[in-house]
Chain A
Amino acid sequence: MEAILKRNRLGQWITELQERAEIYAPDFVEDTWEFAKVGRGATVELNHSNTVRPAKRFVFPQREVLYRFRIENSQSPKLTDTEPKVESTVVFGVRPCDGRAMVRNDRVFTCGFSDPYYQARHDNVVFVGLACNAPPSQNCFCVSVGGSPHSEDGLDVLMTELDGRYHVKALTDKGSDIVRSAGDLFQDVKAADMDDVGNAHAIALEYSQRSISSMEAVAAALRRNFDSPIWDKLARACIGCGACTYLCPSCHCFDINDEVTNKSPLTGARVRTWDNCQFPDFTMHSSGHNPREDTGARLRQRICHKLLYFVETHNMQQCTGCGRCITHCPVGIDIVKIANVMEEGVWQ
C-alpha cells in the first residue's frame, strides 16, 4: 500500500496516531540526535543525522525485568510474572540500517525459541522508516553490507521525502494499519510521484559511502587470521569501553542478575540488562581464567561476530553499516578500516 503525504500534514498524522499510541521521533537533545517521545502538538522534522542510540531499545531495552521474587520464612520462592505490558508505540525516522538490524535481532530472539519479552514489545511497535536521501553519517556503509539507503527490511513503513511531500509505503499489516487509520490525510500516488521516488533513490545511491569491496573476502580473511598478531596492533588504542556495542543496532548480548530490594523477606527482581563483549568480565570464568584476556581478543570477537560468525550461522552480516561504532569510538577504531586491512592483508 502506497500513498502520498504532504509535508505539512505529517504533524496531523502524528496527532491522530497519538490517540492510540505513543509516538517517538528523533529530536536534537543535548546536541545529539535521540529518539524521544513526541509531546502533544510538538513538531517533528525528520531531518536528522543518525541517532546516537539505535532503535533496538524499543524491542530490547537496556533493562528488562524478567520476573519478581519473594522468599518468606524459607518457604519456596513466590515468583510473579512480569511479561511487559507494552503501550502501542510508533517510532518515526528509523533509518534503513536500523530496520535491517531488526531483522538480525529477530533471528536471535525469535527463531527457534521466541523470547516472550522481545516478542511482546515487537508486537506493539511500528517502525516507520525514513529513506536516506543523503548519508546521515560520514561513516555510513550500508551498501557494502548488502543494504541500501532505502532498504525496506525490518520496517513496517518506509517514507521517502520528496519535494514538499512524502511517499509513504506500508510494508506490513501494522504499517498499513497506521496509514489506513488516517486515510483522509493521504493522497493517491501518481505516476509523477513514482518517478520522483525513483529519482530520489537513485540520487541517494550516488553519494559516496565508506566501502568494503568484498564481504566474502573479508570473511575468508577473518577465518584465516584468527591467531594473527594484527589484532593486538589494531586494538592497541582500544580503551575497552562499551560505546561500540551498546550503540550498535544489532548487538544483542545480555546479562542476567538478581536485584535484591529487601532482605527479609528476601524480595527482588531478576533482570536482564545489555551486556558487552568489550568488557573484561564478559568471558571471565569463575576460576579467574579469561579466554579473551585482552582488548585484541575482544576486538577480534566483535569484528568476527559481525562479519564472519553471523554469516556462517544466519547467512547475513550482523552489521548493517550504520557507522555508529566508528563515529562514537573514543579512539577511532574503525570496522571499515579493519575489514579493509584484513582483506588486503597488508600489515607487518
Chain B
Amino acid sequence: MESIKLRKITSVWILAVFVLFIVSIILGILMRLNQGGVINQNPVTFYANMTTHGLTMIGIWFVAGMAAINYLMERYVKTSYTVNLIALVLTVIGVLMFWVSTFIGKFHAAWTFLYPLPFKLLGAESWSTLLFLLALTIFGIGWLIWSVSLMTQILRKYSISQAFAWQHFKKNPSVDTPPFILISMITLIGVIASLLAAVVLLALLFAEYFSNGSFVNDALLMKNLTYFFGHTIANEMLYLGLAVIYELFSEVSGRPKWKTTWYVALAWNCTLVFILTAFFHHLYMDFVQPEGFQIIGQMASYLASLPAAGVTVFSVLIAVYRTKMKWTLTNLLFFIGVAGWVIGGLGAVIDATISNNVVLHNTLWVPAHFHTYNAMGNVLFSIGFFYWFSTQFAENIKPERFTKWTLATLLIGGAGFLLAFYYGGADSIPRRYSVYPAELSIGAPWAVVGAIFATVYLIAILVFFYNISKRCLKILSSPS
C-alpha cells in the first residue's frame, strides 16, 4: 500500500507546517501586542507582518489538508509521489519568495491583495509587488498540479457519477463510494475552481502591471474574483480536514467504518453548489453589486449550514452519543475541532446576514469568526491527523501523560484569544488597524487580552510540535 517515500514526504509536510505555524502565531501575537500599545511597530512593518501571517496561515493549512488527503487516498487509489514532491518544492520556493517580498520588500497589501492596492503601496520596495505576484504564481502552479493530479487518480478508478456518489440516490447501489472519496472529489473541484480564479486574477494583474497604464482593470470584477478565490480556498481547506475525519474518526475510535448513504451523498453535492456561491457575502457593502447576487450570497451562506450541521456535525454527534469508544488524542482533537467549527460557523452565519453585516463588516468580528473555525477547528483536524500519522510507525507508544493538560491549555488559550476578537468586533473596533484611534481606545485592552491568551495557545501548540515532530524526524531518519 503506501510507500515509505510517501510516509517520508508526509513527515516533511508536517514539520514544515508546524514550523511555519509557530512563526505565524508569533507574528499574530506581535500584532495584538502592537494593537494593545505594548510594543510600537512601524505601520508598514505591522501590515507586512499581517500579510505574512494571513497568507502563510492560509497556505499551510491548505497544504496540511492536501498532504493528509494525499496520504489517506493511497488506501483507495494510487497517487503520484512525483507530483507530491513538485508541490512541496514549489511551496517551499513560493514561501521563500513571498517572505522576501514581505519581510525585506515590505509588501503589505494584506493576504487578499485587493486590486488596485498592490500597485499603490507606499512605503514598500517597488520590486516587492512583482515578487509577491510571482510567489503566488508559483503556489498556484504547484497546488493546481497537485489537486488536478489527485482528482485524476480518483477518476481513474471511479466514474464521474460514482465519484459524486450519485448511485447512492437509488436503493441498494451496486458500488459503494467511500465518503472519503466523495468529499475529496467535491473539495478538489472547489479547490481547482478557486485556483483557476486565482490564475485569471493574476493574469489580469500582470496585464495591468506590464501594460504601462494602457490597460486598467475593473475594480468590481477584480473584487469578485478575489473573494471567489479567497473565500473558496479558505473554506475548501476546512473540507479537506472533514474528509480526513470521515475516514479516520471511526477507525481511531475502534468503531465500524462510516458509509456513504443517500443523505451524505446529497449533502456533499449540495455543498459544492453553496460553497461556490457563498462568496458573494464578501461584497454586501458594495451597493453597486447586482442585488440578486447579494440575496444569493445570504441564501447560499445560510443553506451551506444545512448539510454541514445536519449531516456532518450530526453524524459526529451520533457516532459519539452513548457509544463506548476508544478516546485518543486524535479523535478528541477531531471532536473539539468540530465544536470549534460549529461555533465559528455560528459567528459566520450571523455576519453573513446582510442587515448584521452593515455593522460587522470589516470589524474584528470577521477575524473573530474565521479564527474560530481555523485556530479551533481546522488546525485541530490537521493536528489530529498529524498525531495519528506520527503514531502509526512508532513502536510502543505510551499514552502522552500531559495530553489532558495540553488540551486544556489549548482550549483556554484559544477561547480567550477569540473572545477578545468577538468583544472587539461588538465594540465596533475595525479589523486591520495597526493601532486604534483615541475614541476606540477600548480596542487596546482587548488586544492585550488576546495576546496573553494567544501565548497560552502557543504553549499548547509547542507541546504538540515537540511530541509529533520527534516521531516525524524518526520516520525521516529510518532506512528507506
Are both chains from one complex?
no
On A, residues with C-beta under 8 Å from B are: none
